[in-house]
Amino acid sequence: MSKVSIGGQAVIEGVMMKNNDKYAIAVRKPDKEIEVKIDSYKPAADKGLFFRLPIVRGVFNFVESLVIGVKTLTYSASFYDEEDADVDKGGKNDASDSVMMFFTVAVSILLAVGLFMLLPAFLVSFLDKYIDSHILLGLIEGVIRLSIFLLYVFLISRMEDIKRTFMYHGAEHKSINCLEAGDELTVDNVMKSTRFHKRCGTSFLFIVMIVSILVFMCIDSKTLWLRLLLRVLLVPVIAGISYEFIRYAGTHNNVCANVLSKPGLWVQRLTTIEPTPDMVEVAIKAVEGVFDWREYLNDMDKEK
């Protein structure tokens, strides 16, 4: 069975699914009804050849996914915001919403770079007087970075509200895996599918941590400010390289791809939880908002 191009994420009490130039958000509202919103966007890849170049495409895809992710999270949260209970959620965002989203994305990026890139480099700087090898220093920095990342993921996975979001994350993965297995997208079939997937954002972030170790081990800078600056400047390069790996792993099923994907799949044990059938129902609605799975399965049957 060929791979489908659908990707997505969990939102507040729901799932977002993205396919080509459309994305759908399905949310289980407080009244238990499922609200589905379908929207479109222009992928960076459609803007020209430059945006489709390897590594470059990964940078723009990451930013694009972050923007859509924040937008859909905000939308899903609005159903549970008492102050906005009377707001028409089907309406367009106004200018103030766009500005707020821009700052939210910017702050998110700055916090991530500060916590996972700059903090480890700063901590390792205290070892400069004791260790001359920049390769060893880079390795130690990488271990610290990876430890901070895993500790962060573990701590947020213990939060009750986050647990429900991680259950919807599991429902998102299960629905995509069900499609890729060639099964009909029913609640029973989806529940039987695995909650782990190689094209997951968790795996992407884990690969970012690993790639950063390899990249920073090759950089020799005794000046702290220059070392920190290089960490910031190389973030897009690291994100681009990591995207290419995830893209390859998600479309190949050979031994190399499977072995290298194992660590990321292991981390998904923290960020995905087995969903309930009603959560799977929401995920299916999100898929159906952007993808005709019945036609897809019929086409696959004709090819056999």
Digits of tens for pLDDT over the chain (304 positions)? 456 778 899 999 999 999 988 999 999 999 999 999 999 988 888 888 998 999 999 999 988 888 898 889 989 988 887 545 544 444 445 556 666 666 776 787 888 899 999 999 999 999 988 998 989 999 999 999 999 999 999 999 888 889 999 999 999 999 999 998 999 999 999 999 999 998 898 999 999 999 999 999 888 788 899 999 999 999 999 999 999 999 888 788 888 888 888 999 999 999 999 999 999 999 999 999 999 999 988 887 777 6
Q: Is residue 1 part of a domain?
A: no
Q: Is residue 234 part of a domain?
A: yes
Res 43: pLDDT: 86
Q: Is residue 58 part of a domain?
A: yes
Per-residue burial over 145-176, b if 16 or more Cβ lie within 10 Å, else e, is bbebbeeebeeebeeeebebbbbbbbbbbbbb
Res 1: pLDDT: 47
Res 260: pLDDT: 81
Of 198, 290, 279, 291, the residue nearest 11 (C-alpha): 279
At residue 161, the 3 state secondary structure works out as: helix
Q: Is residue 299 part of a domain?
A: yes
CA distances from residue 271 to 76, 195, 203, 277, 304 in whole angstroms, order as listed: 19, 10, 10, 18, 36
Res 288: pLDDT: 96
Domain count, the chain: 1
Domain that holds residue 113: 7-303
Q: Is residue 27 part of a domain?
A: yes
Q: Is residue 148 part of a domain?
A: yes
**Predicted TM-score of the model (pTM):** 0.87
Q: Is residue 2 part of a domain?
A: no
The CA radius of gyration of the chain, in Å to the nearest whole number, is 20
Cβ contact 293:17 at 8 Å? no
Res 188: pLDDT: 97
Separation CA 247–CA 252 (nearest Å): 9
Q: Is residue 13 part of a domain?
A: yes
